Chains A and B, each alone.
Chain A
Amino acid sequence: MRKSLIIVFSLIAITALQAQNYYVYVAAESEDEVALVKFDGKKAETIKNIPVGIWPVENEGPHGITVGPEGKYWYLSLAHGNPYGTLYKYETGTDKVVGSVPLGLFPASMQVSAATGLLYCVNFNLHGDMVPSTVSVVDVESMTELTQITTGTMPHGSRLSANGLKQYSVAMMSGELFEIDAISLKITKTLDLDEASKMAPEDHSMMDHSKMDMGASKMAEEKKPMEAMDHSQMDHSKMDMGGMPAMKHSAFKPTWVSTHPTKNLIYVAGNGAAEVLEISTDTWKTTRKFITDKGPYNIDVSPDGKRMVVSYKTAAKTGVWDLESGKELARLDNSQKVTHGVAISSDSKFAFVSVEGIQDDPGMVDVIDLTTNRLIDTAYLGKQAGGIAFWKIER
C-alpha cells in the first residue's frame, strides 16, 4: 500500500514538474505580421512570424485576434482595406489561411461563440466620421458575414459571456456598453458608461491608495501623446457629421470589456477615466469601481475567476487585481511604452501582455507570473504588438 502511494505521488510530482509550453498568437499591427510566441515557464520567444494581408505596400493593420473555442482555427481582423477591413481564418499550427471575408470599417476585437459557432466582431471605424458603427456576425464555417448590428460610435472592445449566449461590446466615443443576444442578434441592453461611472459605488476600503497615480483623475483635461484619442477635447465643429445629429463624446472612453468565467459580471476599462467598472449583467448596474493607473485599455479575467489583469496603455504598466478583495496586487512596469492587450493562460498561471512600442521599436510580449505577480520574460516581435490571443498549453 505504502509502495503504491509512493508511486502515485511520484507520478503526480513528475507530471507537475514536467515542462509546460504556453503558446500565444500576437498581431504586429505595423508589421503586417502575426507572431507565435512560446513560453516554457521561464523563457518567452517568438518561434514563428506569419506574414498577413494582401496589399503589401499598404499597411493593413492586423488588429484583433482570437482562437476559436475548439482551438483548431485562429481568426484575425485586418483593419484597413479598400476601404473595408477583412477577417481571416487560419488553421492553428500550420497557420495557413483557410478563408476570409470583408467586414466593416476597421474590424477590431472579436470572439467565436461556443454556443452558436458564430463570430462576433466589432467594426471600430477609426476613419473619421463620428457615426454609429456595427458588430459583424460571421458564420466561420463558410466565412460569410451574416449581418451587421448597429451599435455605438467606435466600438472597440468586445467579449462573449462564458456560455456564449451574450455578446458585450463597448463604443469608445459614444461611451456605451451593449449586450447582444448571440442567437437573436438583437441588442438586449445598453448602458451609458459615463453615467454608470458617476453612479458607481467606490469601495475605498478596498483601494490601495499608496499605488495610485493621483494625476490619473486629470486624464480628461490632459492631452498626452500616448493615450487613446481624447475626442472630448477635439474641435468637432470642423468634422463632417454625415448629417447625423451631434454625438456624445465620452470622457469615460470605454476601450474594453471582459466577462467573468463563472459569475454574471463584466469588467469595462474606462480609458479616459482611469478606472475599471464591474457591472452586473443581471441588474445592469455597476457593482464596483476599480481606480487604475493612466489609460486602462484591455482587460482579461483569469479562467479561475480570481484575477483581473488590466493593461495601462498610457502609463506603460500592467495591473494585477484580486477580484475577490478588489485590491490591486501589483502594478508592473512594462518593457516599453504603449501597453496594449492581455491574454491569460487557460491554467490561470500566466498573463501575456502585448506592448506596442513607438516608431520602429519592436513589439513585445511581457509574461507575468500570476502566482508571484512578477514579470518573468519578454518576447520580441514585429512593430506595434497589439491583439493577443492565448492558444494552448502543451506538455
Chain B
Amino acid sequence: MKKLKKALYILALLFPVALFAQKEIVIEPANITMEVGQKKQINAYVMENGKKLKDPINLLSRARRSLTIDSTMMAHAIQPGTYDIVAVADGVRKTFQIKVNYPAIASIKIDDIPQKIYAGTSIALKYHVIDKSGATRDNVDVKFTSMYGNIAEVDDYGMVNTMIPGKATITVKAENITNTITVNVVSNPIVKVQLEAEMTAARTGDVFHFKAKALDKNGKIIADAPIFYSFNGVSDNTSQSASGLIKNDGRFVADEAGKYTITASCGVASASKTVKIAPREVSRKIEMVGQGSVNDKHTSDFWVWEGIDGRDYAVTGTWGADGTAYFWDVTDPGSMIKIDSVQVDARTVNDVKISEDGKICVISREGASDRKNGLVIIDVSNPRDVEIISRFDENMTGGVHNVFLSGDYLYALSGGQKYYIIDIKDPKNPRAVSKFELDTPGHSIHDVWVEDGIAYSSNWGDGIQLVDVGNGIAGGSPENPKQFASYAYPNKANHASFPFRSPSTGKFYVIGGDEIFPYGLNTQKGGVNMAAGYLHVVDFTDLENPQEVARFEVPYAGSHNYWIEGETLYVAFYNGGVRVVDLSGELMGDLRKQGREIAWILPNDANGYTPNAPFTWGAQLHKGHVFFSDFNSGLWSAKLEPEKPKNTPIQVK
C-alpha cells in the first residue's frame, strides 16, 4: 500500500512535466530586443520529436499595457522594460522575455529660476528629464556641476547655494544630454529681517501666522527676498522634545508646551521670535450612561432622532447576520429600550438613516438570499410599530453599502461604483432621478453624506468629491448633480467625509477618514481586532486649491464614522473607542499631539458578542449625550462633563 502511495505521489509530481514533456515551443528570434514604438514580427511554432507541427499557438503578454502581441504574432513595444510573454499551444507552453530598451534621453528641462538671486541665498533647481519617447524619466543618474563655484555651488540634489555676485553656469547632465542655466547672483541688499506675529503666547494647537520682511540698509522692503522659516524649542516636559509644524508661509503650530524660537532668515540676515506655548488643557471627563445590548450578532451603523411624539429614538443595523434592524427608545439614555425591529432579506444592514422630519427610515441591504440587494424604506412615525413602506432594488443589486436621506431625496450607493439619487416624495413609489459616477479608471465609492445641498462622497483613491445637489454653487440639483471640487490623498483609503464650517475662523474644512485593516479582521465570535488609518483635515476654503492641513490619528487604532457639532468632533476609532476632539480655531498639524483630544471612552462589555472587545462603529451627539454603536455590543450612550469656564485669557496679544 505504501509503495502504491509512493508511486502515485511520484506520478502526481511528474504530471505537469508529463503534460508538457512531449512538445516544445520554439520562438524565433531567440533573443528579442525592441525599441519603444517599434513593431516586430515574431515566429513561434511547436516542435515534437524534432518535427515542426502546425499546432495553433498564441503569444500573450503579461504586461499588455506595455507590450502587446496581436494574433499574427506582431509585437508592439509601448513602454521600456523587460516583459514576460507566455506562448501557449495544446499541451505545451513556454515563457520567454522581450526587452524593450529605454529610449535615450532627449532633453532636460529646468524650470525658470529668478532673474536675480541675492548672494548668500539658496534656490532649489526643479528639473525634468525627458527621453526620446517623450516620457519623463526619474530612473536616470543626474549630475550637477557649477562652472564658477566661488559664485554659486550646487549639490547632488540640485540645491544651489550662492556666495558672491557674479554669473555662474550650472550644468545638469543625464546620459549624454546636458542643459545649462546661468545663475545671476547679485549683491545682497538685505541687511535686516523683521519678524512679527499676532501673539507671543498660545496653547498647543493654536496656529501662529508669522510675517517676515527683508529690509535693505535704508529700511526699504525687498519684496522678492526668499525667506525661510524654521524653529527650535524646549519642551516643558524634560523627557519630551519640543515639536510642531512650520510652513514656509510663516504658519507655525506647536505640539508640546514649552518655549519655541521661530526664525526667519534670508541669507545671512535673520530674525527670531520666541513664543510661550501652554498646554491646551481641553480634556474633560466622559462617563458611560447606558447600553442597549446586542450580543447575539454584530451591530453596524445607527442613527438617533427625535420622534414626532417628542421622545428620542434610535435605529441600529446589524452586520453579517440575519438582516435585522432594531428600533430603540433612548429618551432616557441610561435606560435604552428595544421597542421594535424589522427583518429584511439580507445578511448585513450596514447603514440606517432617518429623515429630518423623523418619519422615514431607510436601511441598506447586502447579502440578500437572491443577490437582489437594495434598500428598504420604513415608516417610523410610530417607532414602536414600524412598517415597511417599500423596497427599492433597481440598479442596486450589487449591494447598497451606504445611504443618506436629505429632504425628499435618498442617496444610495450602488455596487461600490456610484450613487443614485432617488426621489421619495411618494415613499411608496421611490424613483431614481439621477446618479453620480466618476469616470476615472477603476473608480469606486464607499459613502455619501449630504449637507446644505452638497453631497460629500468618499471615493477611496479618488478621494473626497463635492457635488452640488441643490446648493446652487455649481448649478446642480438632485436631478442634475454637478461635481465642483475634489481632493485625493496618497493612501487611497478615503472611506468617509464630513463637512466642517469652522465658526471661529470661517474656514471650510472637509474631514476625510480612512478605513484600513492592516491585520485583517476576525468577524467570528471571539475575534479581537485592530484597525488603522486616520482623519485627514482638508481646507476647502479655496475650492479650486484644497489643501490637506491637519490630521487626527490614534496609534494602533483606525478611524471609522464620525459626527461634528459646533467645534467638536465625535469619532469612532474601532478598537480605539470613541474620541472627542476639539476643532476650535485654525487647524494645522497633528491634532492629537497638540492635546486637542477632549475625551475618549471604550465600551467594554463582558457579555458582548465578542466579550471585552470594543470595536466602535460610529458616534453621534444628540441632546447632549454622545451615542455610539459598537460592532460587538450594540448601542451605547455617554455624557461629557460640561466645559470648564475659561477665566484666564490664554492668548496674549
Contact = CB atoms under 8 A, between A and B. Distances in A.
A84 B417 CA distance: 9
Given A54-B520, A126-B371, A225-B345, A146 B90 contact: no
B370 A225 contact: yes
Interface of B: 12, 15-16, 19, 56-58, 60-64, 71, 84, 86, 88-91, 93, 95, 297, 319-323, 343, 345-348, 366-367, 369-372, 394-399, 401, 414-417, 431-432, 435, 442-444, 460-461, 515, 517, 520-523, 529
B367 A384 contact: yes
A118 B521 contact: no
Nearest to B401: A58
A360 B58 contact: no
A189 to B, nearest CB: 16
Interface of A: 29-32, 51, 54-59, 61, 70-71, 80-84, 105-106, 114-118, 126-129, 137, 139, 141-142, 144, 146-147, 163, 165, 181, 183-186, 225-229, 234-235, 238-240, 337-338, 356-360, 383-384
Contact of A359 (B64, B71, B346, B397): B346
A70 B369 CA distance: 34
Contacts of B320: 30-31, 59, 383
A78 to B, nearest CB: 12
Nearest to B396: A128
Contacts of A137: 60
16 contacts: A30-B320, A56-B529, A61-B367, A84-B442, A116-B90, A117-B88, A128-B396, A137-B60, A141-B95, A183-B88, A185-B58, A229-B397, A238-B395, A338-B369, A359-B369, A360-B297
- Output the residue of A32, A56, A137, A184 with the most chain B CB within 10 A: A56
Given A117-B93, A126-B398, A83 B369 contact: no
B398 A183 contact: no
Contacts of A128: 395-398, 414-415, 417
A118 to B, nearest CB: 6
Given A139-B60, A144-B63, 17 more contacts: A30-B320, A54-B520, A56-B522, A57-B517, A106-B398, A116-B89, A127-B397, A127-B414, A127-B416, A128-B398, A142-B84, A144-B62, A165-B90, A239-B394, A358-B345, A358-B369, A359-B343
B56 A184 contact: yes
Contacts of A70: 12, 15-16
B593 to A, nearest CB: 28
A83 B347 contact: no
Given A83-B444, A115-B91, A139-B60, A59 B370 contact: no
Contacts of A57: 319, 515, 517, 521
A106 B394 CA distance: 18
Contacts of B63: 144
Contact of A360 (B93, B95, B321, B442): B321
Contacts of B62: 139, 142, 144, 146
Contacts of A229: 370-372, 397
User: Which one of B56, B88, B297, B443 has the greatest number of beta carbons of chain A within 10 Å?
Assistant: B88
B399 A80 contact: yes
B517 A127 contact: no
A255 to B, nearest CB: 12
Nearest to A14: B1
A118 B88 contact: yes
Nearest to B61: A146
Nearest to B368: A358
Nearest to A359: B322
A228 B370 contact: yes
Contacts of A29: 367
B417 A127 contact: yes
Closest 4 CB pairs of A and B: A56-B521, A127-B415, A127-B398, A360-B322
Contacts of B57: 183
